[in-house]
Amino acid sequence: MSKFLRQSYRSIERSIPKIDWQIALITILSTLLIILAYSYSFTPYPFLERLVEYTVLPLIVIVLVFRENPKEYGLRLGDWKAGLIITAGAIVISAPILYWAVKASPTLQSYYADRYSPLFFIPILVEMIGWEFILRGFIFFGYEKKFGGNALWLSAVPFALAHLGKPSLETFSTIFSGFLFGWVAWRTRSIIYPILIHCFLTIFTILVASGRI
């Protein structure tokens, strides 16, 4: 009987794949938070909700559940020299391309023009902190420990899916821009520079779409 039980246990054990619980928790929590943000709004200030959902809650998990330092998830200055050079280069290269794309796309213009308002850049900055922390900080750096460089593409997938409902030209490009944002985080070991680049792209798009530039 005991031999039968041991064999049954080994059979069951072999049928269950080995799962990294930390990767599982990162995947489940980030997916649920993105779905929550997409489906519900609890206040008139969605950018503050994104900061709580995408930054505060993952930070609680990192500190209290993983027992790890948030610096390991990109909350640090990192290689600031490389970060500033990459950020400046991204701005110089992307500005004319983005200007042409917005001017050539009535869909982008109509989608982003209404987002202009006095001090509109403040909620964008707050929102981008949340976006970049959950995607490049929590997901990318969390995945990188297990998957190495493949985490760049893996973390680009939720970034692209989170853009569903936005203009198709932007949405189709996000699998590649998500990879590049991840690369910047990897190269600098910080989410600061993806935040700066993402903020510039969004602010610049709104200014062009609204006719301010």
**pLDDT per position as a tens digit, 83-109:** 999 999 999 999 999 999 999 999 999
Q: 169 versus 1: which is more confidently predicted? A: 169
The pTM score is: 0.90
**Cβ-proximal residues to 142 (8 Å cutoff; 6+ apart), any chain:** 22, 23, 26, 73
- pLDDT for position 54: 97
Neighbours of 210 (CB within 10 A): 17
- pLDDT for position 172: 95
Amino acid sitting at position 120 = F
Measured between alpha carbons, how far is 50 from 83 in angstroms, rounded to an integer? 25
**pLDDT per position as a tens digit, 62-80:** 999 999 999 999 999 999 9
